[in-house]
Structure 1
């Protein structure tokens, strides 16, 4: 297992600077108890944080001279595939993306718009991943991963570097977790800066939470409104290692809270984000929040993606 280090984050920062959009930070309405900032990473290229890891992954292989003529391939529920296709086009290589047939149509259409060869296989991420692995073995294409690769996680961690630069004195970063690439990168950088990390998962997509309870990576069932982006059956070993450090808190939120948080972002700010992005904010919401910041705590919530159909945000009344 590769233990992610702050040096990995720094190298990724060198590769991504000038190639990804710097995150926008917006102060939320005063709560009276703590200071809340929204890290609007859904404004990133391809609509999610995944562009950071994808660019870092391919740029590192370009540096090493290991980008094959067959291009790159990835299995993805959507956002990682979009980022891979975007980064591949920028590097001038071919991308073949495998997705479950249940992937949102908006993501499939955008993938094809980036010039990717899209293959729809099965109904779950694991089935798409198996097909992707077969394709890589047969063609020699470079296999990327939606979250379980140190270069992918390190690229995602560059986000925290930008957040602490823009919010001096940050105490806590709150981030949604699927397979754990974003979490592992952010938590690694946060530990270096003395910032605590809150890892948030839907109650029924709890791969990291279950791994922490078991003391090892374990497979979990997937059933959540946010499963299209957070529906990994297993967290990465890198994510588990990061989660076992001091300064990390793992919490679960119900789907109802995720839906409410997503709607509130639209109603209050006209921000249309996907359920995965609202999952992080859901941890702070409601009368009994999963994570309750202390008085005076300075908190940044990562809104990680916006590849969604906003039609269900409009009140038919």
Structure 2
């Protein structure tokens, strides 16, 4: 399945209503987040953009992943296709937590495979949801290979961290809620790992005529590289945000979504991700993981650029994203499963 339909997102919204927490949004004070006048979010001489933060890290399990997991488990529950062996998933941490949480709610066994270097805070939280946690290798791809062997041997139902229509459709429900807060939204900015959040959000945004900015670390760029190649490719993963954005290969759904009009793929360096995360702490006392800060880094990066008017409504790639005068922008802060001890207090 390469294209996610808007109807899939509407169905997911109906299915998970009452199971997930509605997103909370907060508006950024003009100039409040940024290093200096040139780097501030209101750095243009005209009417400043209107920037909002979607606090999706307040979701169950600490990330947007709960939406897709709830949709996946409930859909299989409704269809009577949940096996006795339960569900299994490979994850960098957040998707595994969401799967375990959703499975626990339905009394279903969950076996989760993580890279051995997954953050301890995520491993501990997984176990608190009753999951059987298995640490394998040093990258998500290695955990995925062993997870697939486990499913073939036991008959467990395989979920996926991002590359499944039910997972992506659940994630896309977030955009519907954001629009309820900001009916005249122009642009939504999301961090991208494998592309589940981006696929869902972009499909909903495309339906409503909203621009989507997909943000990746410059050395963790599965979607950006696929756009350049015109097909899915494997990439090297090396970023401070790799624990949540460290997919070697983007999904076909994400690539398809990124090739549509009103989408932008941008890259940010690790130093700007660290800086954006610190800015959130300094100005709002918000402690998010580096993957979530990656989205904000597109707007606060000192190398950000304003797309040419002719490029704003067609697929484009670049460094950072500078909103136009008066543009209404929402940045999704997608997860907060992090150790905040390295934030300057």
The interval holding the TM-score normalised by the smaller chain is: over 0.9
| Aligned residue in 1 for 2:135 | 120
| Aligned residue in 2 for 1:191 | 206
Q: Contact (CA 8 Å) 1:99, 1:119: kept in 2 or not?
A: yes
Give the superposition deviation at 1:33: 1.4
Aligned length: 315
1:276 is matched with which residue: 287, 291, 294?
291
Taking the aligned partners of 2:325 and 2:145, their CA distance within structure 1 comes to 48
Taking the aligned partners of 2:244 and 2:16, their CA distance within structure 1 comes to 23
Taking the aligned partners of 1:304 and 1:4, their CA distance within structure 2 comes to 20
Q: Contact (CA 8 Å) 1:212, 1:244: kept in 2 or not?
A: yes
Is residue 295 from structure 1 mapped to residue 325 from structure 2 by the alignment?
Answer: yes
| Aligned residue in 2 for 1:29 | 29
Q: Deviations over 1:139-180 (max 9, x none)?
A: 100000000000000000000000001112000000000000
Q: SS of the counterpart of 1:74?
A: strand
Alignment of 1:1-317 (within 5 A): 1-30=1-30, 31=42, 33-289=48-304, 290-315=320-345
Q: Contact (CA 8 Å) 2:278, 2:344: kept in 1 or not?
A: no
Taking the aligned partners of 2:301 and 2:109, their CA distance within structure 1 comes to 45
Q: SS of the counterpart of 1:37?
A: strand
Give the superposition deviation at 1:2: 4.0
Provide the TM-score with structure 1 as the length reference.
0.98
Taking the aligned partners of 1:87 and 1:297, their CA distance within structure 2 comes to 37
CA RMSD of aligned residues (A): 0.7
Q: SS of the counterpart of 1:73?
A: strand
Q: SS of the counterpart of 2:300?
A: coil
Taking the aligned partners of 1:219 and 1:16, their CA distance within structure 2 comes to 33
Q: Deviations over 1:240-298 (max 9, x none)?
A: 00110001000000000000000000011000000000000000013332101000000
Contiguous gaps of at least 5 residues in structure 2: 31-41, 305-319
Provide the TM-score with structure 2 as the length reference.
0.90
Taking the aligned partners of 1:12 and 1:224, their CA distance within structure 2 comes to 32
Taking the aligned partners of 2:183 and 2:12, their CA distance within structure 1 comes to 22
Q: SS of the counterpart of 1:284?
A: helix
Contiguous gaps of at least 5 residues in structure 1: none
Q: SS of the counterpart of 1:118?
A: strand
Give the superposition deviation at 1:120: 0.5
Taking the aligned partners of 1:69 and 1:2, their CA distance within structure 2 comes to 30
Q: SS of the counterpart of 1:220?
A: coil
Q: Deviations over 1:99-136 (max 9, x none)?
A: 00000000000000000000001111111001100110
Q: Deviations over 1:207-229 (max 9, x none)?
A: 00000000000000000000000
